[in-house]
């Protein structure tokens, strides 16, 4: 991400209007706007594989799956992010066509330039979403999937998945083999 060189804060309204016409996406973090860089082939393939599998699962249900171009707004953190894949099953999210506020699942495909942010500050912001049940981080350079799942006490537990295992996402009653996620990207050993 690249910071906006301006020292001035931008309003939510100006940010949202600008995103409607901008040829590139930007994330909004407490009044500052950051340009989003394009993803690698591996990044896009992994996100696309998961989106296709999840979209097929939620088709015809009250849930909606989104990939790359739908923002999530976290009001308490004063941010708008673009998750790689997001699922919302909350009817309140039907009222806004430009961002969602009540996702149950967020998936980020890690790149070297965003990994620390996705694990740190972004996850801290995502944890403020009361409806979020699972946050999944997927490496694009090696086979490594981590699922942070909110337990009944509200604490986040880490579940990791090895190459020959099956990813289980309880928030949407979904499972698939790790090999399906990495199809056309990495060889499973």
pLDDT tens column, 128-160: 999 999 999 999 999 999 999 999 999 999 999
Q: How many residues are listed for the chain in this entry?
A: 189
CB atoms closer than 10 angstroms to residue 16? 17
pLDDT of res. 86: 98
90-120, pLDDT tens digit by residue?
999 998 889 999 999 999 999 888 899 999 9
pLDDT band at 8 (very low <50, low <70, confident <90, very high): confident
**pLDDT of the residue at 187:** 67
**Consecutive H or E run containing 34:** strand 32-35
Q: CA 22 to CA 91: how far, in whole Å?
A: 28
**Environment class of residue 26 by beta-carbon count within 10 Å: exposed (0-12), middle (13-18) or buried (19+)?**
buried
Say how many C-beta atoms besides its own lie within 10 A of residue 139's C-beta: 17
If you count DSSP H runs as helices and E runs as strands, how many of each does the chain have, helices first?
5, 14
Distance from C-alpha of 33 to C-alpha of 103, rounded to nearest angstrom: 22
Q: Specify the DSSP class assigned to residue 94.
A: G
Query: Residue 96: its pLDDT value, please?
Result: 86
Mean of pLDDT values over 175-181: 96
**Lowest-confidence segment of 2-6, 56-60, 101-105, 135-139 by average pLDDT:** 2-6
CA dist., res. 128 & res. 36, Å (int): 22
What is the 3-state composition of the chain as percent helix, strand, coil, each rounded to the nearest 5?
30, 30, 40
Separation CA 162–CA 143 (nearest Å): 7
- Residue 68 has which token pair? 């790359």
Residue 24: other Cβ atoms inside 10 A? 10
What is the pTM (predicted TM-score) of this model?
0.93
């Amino acid at each position: 991400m690249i910071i906006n060189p301006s020292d001035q804060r931008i309003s939510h309204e100006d940010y949202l209007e600008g995103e409607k016409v901008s040829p590139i996406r930007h994330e909004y973090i407490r009044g500052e706007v950051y340009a989003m860089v394009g993803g690698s082939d591996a990044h896009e393939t992994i996100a696309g594989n998961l989106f296709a599998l999840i979209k097929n699962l939620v088709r015809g249900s009250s849930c909606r799956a989104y990939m790359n171009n739908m923002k999530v707004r976290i009001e308490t953190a004063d941010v708008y992010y673009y998750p790689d894949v997001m699922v919302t099953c909350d009817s309140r999210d039907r009222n806004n066509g430009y961002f969602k506020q009540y996702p149950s699942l967020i998936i980020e495909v890690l790149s070297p330039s965003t990994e620390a942010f996705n694990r740190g500050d972004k996850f801290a912001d995502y944890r403020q979403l009361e409806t979020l049940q699972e946050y999944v981080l997927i490496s694009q350079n090696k086979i490594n999937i981590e699922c942070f799942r909110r337990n009944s006490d509200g604490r986040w537990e880490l579940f990791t998945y090895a190459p020959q295992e099956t990813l289980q996402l309880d928030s949407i009653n979904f499972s698939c083999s790790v090999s399906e996620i990495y199809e056309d990207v990495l060889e499973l050993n």
